Structure 1
Amino acid sequence: MPRKNSGPHLVWLKSRKKYYISFTDKGRSRLVSTGERDSARAQAALATFLSARASSGADSGRLRGPAELTIEQALVWYATEHAPDVRAPRAIGVAIERLSAWWGTRTVADVNKATVAGYRRHRETTGRGRGLSRKEAARGVAPATVDRELVVLRAAINWAHANNRLTTAPKIEGGTERPPRDRWLTVAEAAGLLRAARKSPPHILLFTALALYTGARHAAIVELTWDRVDLRAGTIRYLPAGRAQTAKQRPTVPIPRPLLILLRKARKTAKNPYVITWRNRPVESCRTGFRTAAARAGLAGVTPHVLRHTAGTWMAQRGVDTWQISGFLGHTESRTTALYKHHSPEYLDQARAGMERRRR
């Protein structure tokens, strides 16, 4: 049985130093230049290309059976009609590119345990993060990354079904629930990381300090603006005005003294509404710069999220009540208890005392 064509996806042509859209048309492989070197703008060009392909058919909005609707089409509808209204459209766009590159013209009827397992194997072994052509050896992505991509696939298919474009939607099983990683930094490791960050561009040091001392998520930090940093009151309001809280809450937190010193210094020279800037421009991500600083500090496998977990762990180790930790991090108290209670110096102390007490 011949292999089905892959859907349109981005490839990097090193010789031309630009992203191209690779797709198959009538059995022939074709390349169309996006004209972009930036991956985010290239992904936007891909979305436009997919939208144009989707709208070219006269019956694009009719109700179809699972064997008639391609995964590519379902993803295009979801990307163009629903994703722009969500909190993180760029993250959905990245997932859609990865999904489209593998599922291609497979139909919704082809979605089953075997094909989902095949996609998972591909992404976890050879499906490198960017999925682009490079000389470096292919490497897989984390299982959690594949889980998030399959969530987008399931959402796209369910969206088509809910909007009367698909008669029935198959069930896509989620990944195996994995225990959270209990990686946190010691005080010495954190000090080493901050020293290494001082050798990086200034925004990496400020980002690292914000992540460590407030436990905020990456997105909340890079989206932070100075109007929500009250240096007199010593507080940071991570939730933008007019935005409703989501499951990933953005709390208002006090500013610890070491961070306050850095923020005051950064505020004096700020020429942009955003706190985290590079060359007076806001940045979308600090992950690359942070990874460089962590490597310089000799900390393998340390991500920005490890600093969030470090903040919660330090508070628990120093006897802070779980209610206050949950308020500081924007967790539910039950989630905080599950993650940090075992770090508390009072963890199960009554149970231990009971076992040590002699029976009368």
Structure 2
Amino acid sequence: MAGRAVVGTMKFTWRALESRFGPMEADAITIADCRAHIEARRKAGIKDGTIHTELGHLRMVLLWAERHELIDKAPAIERPTKPEPKDAHLTKDEARALIDAANVPHVRLAIMLMVGTGARNEAAMQLTWDRVDFDRRMIQLRNPFDKQRRKGRATVPMNDRLYEALEEAKKGALSPFVIEWAGKQVKSIKKGLKAAGEAINRPDVSPHMLRHSAAVWLAEDGHSMHEIAQFLGHDDVKTTTKVYARYSPTHLRKLADSLAI
């Protein structure tokens, strides 16, 4: 997993796993151990989504150990059911208000970039000016020199407002990174985003919500699931359909019409 964002998350999940699983032989782990972990974490107030991730990382490491013949066979890891994706999203009016409420230039630009491209937070923070094509009005979210596998990084066109914002930002750029502060790359806008969200009475806003909102708007405008999947960088249109088809005004419409009496 070297070089992938999940490495940072795994450092935190190991803190939750180490006391129970650390002293154990890998192939001695049982379903009962998994259930004991689940019960203890729930009693500690931890949500099932977090527990699902923790045990998923344990499973990932055990399967790796099996592939590299460090253990004969990876034991079965039981996890709680993965919760449904969070449904909260911004309306376009709320997104406009959020941009206006962002009083720091790089936070405002990051919001515009993420809602204008549907980019994931990491992709937006790592975007460099050499991948912003002003002549063709295209943005390449995937770094062609990065050999690590990255989720959801497509090449997408920019709308007029985003084009103007990026063009203005480029004039004062002090680093290769599009989202910068004082000439240095910005790795997180969570603090500034939260402040802007609180100003418009949406304290729940997050970088992921910006991407999710963009996808919802695309579906609401009636674009096909295949087009939306390509725009978001989804490998499988089934993922897009499962989450966003219900927002489309045409979804199941013909079936409903067939039931008219």
TM over 0.5: yes
Q: 1:288 to 1:106 in 2, by over 3 A?
A: farther
Structure 1 residues 142 and 194 mapped into 2: Cα distance closer, same or farther (>3 Å)? farther
8 Å CA contact retained: 2:119, 2:152: no
Q: Name the structure 2 match of 1:337.
A: 241
Helix, strand or coil at the partner of 2:175: coil
Residues in 2 aligned to 1:122 and 1:290: alpha-carbon distance in whole angstroms? 33
2:120–2:152 Cα contact (<8 Å) kept: no
Is 1:161–1:169's contact at 8 Å kept on the other side of the alignment? yes
- From 74, 93, 100, the equivalent of 2:11 is 93
Partner of 1:304 in structure 2? 207
Q: Partner of 1:315 in structure 2?
A: 218
**2-structure distance, mates of 1:256, 1:123:** 45
Higher fraction of helix: 2
User: Which of the pair is proportionally richer in strand?
Assistant: 1
Q: How far off its partner does 1:101 sit?
A: 5.1
The corresponding residue for 2:258 is: 354
Shift of 1:214: 0.9
Give the CA deviation at 1:243: 3.8
Whether contact under 8 Å (2:38, 2:80) holds in the other structure is no
**1:86 Cα offset (Å):** 4.8
CA distance in 1, matches of 2:19, 2:125: 29
**CA-based RMSD:** 2.5
**Matching residue within 265, 268, 279 for 2:182:** 279
Aligned equivalents of 1:148 and 1:349: distance in 2? 36
Instruction: Pick one of 54, 61, 64 that aligns with 1:159.
Output: 64
Paired residues in the alignment total: 260
C-alpha distance in 1 between matches for 2:126 and 2:173: 15
Counterpart amino acid of residue 183 in structure 1: A
- Supply the distance in 1 between the matched residues of 2:195 and 2:203 (Cα, whole angstroms): 10
1:113: how far off?
Answer: 3.0
SS in 2 for 1:253: strand
SS of 2:127's equivalent in the other structure is: coil
Within the candidate set 217, 228, 231, 1:325 is matched to 228
Say which one has the larger Rg.
1
Contact 1:231/1:260 (<8 A) preserved? yes
> Match for residue 184 of structure 1?
89
CA distance in 1, matches of 2:239, 2:73: 35
User: What's the CA shift for 1:329?
Assistant: 0.8
Moved more, 209-218 or 155-164: 155-164
3-state secondary structure, aligned to 1:84: coil
- How many angstroms does 1:248 deviate by? 2.1
Structure 1 residues 254 and 343 mapped into 2: Cα distance closer, same or farther (>3 Å)? Answer: same
1:128-277 aligned at under 5 Å gives the runs 140-197=45-102, 199=103, 201-243=104-146, 246=149, 248-277=151-180
Are 1:239 and 1:245, in contact at CA under 8 Å, matched by a contact in 2? no
- Residue pair 2:31, 2:76 contacting (<8 A) in 1 also: no
Cα distance, 1:191 vs structure 2: 2.0
Identity of aligned residues (%): 32
- Number of the residue aligned with 1:12: none
CA 1:155–1:352 in 2, change beyond 3 Å: closer, same or farther? closer
Q: Are the aligned partners of 2:35 and 2:78 in contact in 1 as well (CA < 8 Å)? A: no
Superposition deviation, residue 119 in structure 1: 2.8
Corresponding position of 1:16: none
Instruction: Sort the Cα spacing of 1:149 and 1:289 in 2 relative to 1 into closer, same or farther, 3 A.
Output: farther
Equivalent-residue separation in structure 2 for 1:177 and 1:109 (angstroms): 24
Distance 1:152 1:227, change over 3 A: same
Q: In 2 relative to 1, CA 317–193 (structure 1 residues): closer, same or farther, beyond 3 Å?
A: same
TM-fit CA distance, 1:102? 5.3
Label 1:85 to 1:163 Cα distance change in 2 as closer, same or farther (>3 A).
Answer: farther
CA distance in 1, matches of 2:179, 2:82: 34
Which protein, 1 or 2, shows the higher relative CO under an 8 Å CA cutoff with sep ≥ 6? 2
User: Kindly tell me: are residues 292 and 141 of structure 1, through their superposed partners in 2, closer, same or farther at Cα, counting changes over 3 Å?
Assistant: farther
Distance 1:345 1:228 in 2: 34
Point out where structure 1 has 5 or more consecutive residues left out of the alignment: 1-82, 127-139
CA distance in 1 between counterparts of 2:96 and 2:4 reads: 37
Classify 1:192/1:123 alpha carbon distance in 2 versus 1 (closer, same or farther; 3 Å): farther
SS at match of 1:236: strand
Residues 1:296 and 1:125: Cα distance change in structure 2 (over 3 Å): farther
**Unmatched segments (≥5 aa) in structure 2:** none
Name whichever of 145-154 and 205-214 sits farther off: 145-154
Distance 1:123 1:287 in 2: 26
- Structure 2 CA distance, aligned partners of 1:187 and 1:102? 46
TM-score (norm. length: structure 2): 0.87
Q: Distance in 2 between matches of 1:125 and 1:206?
A: 41
How many Å separate the matches in 1 of 2:96 and 2:3? 40
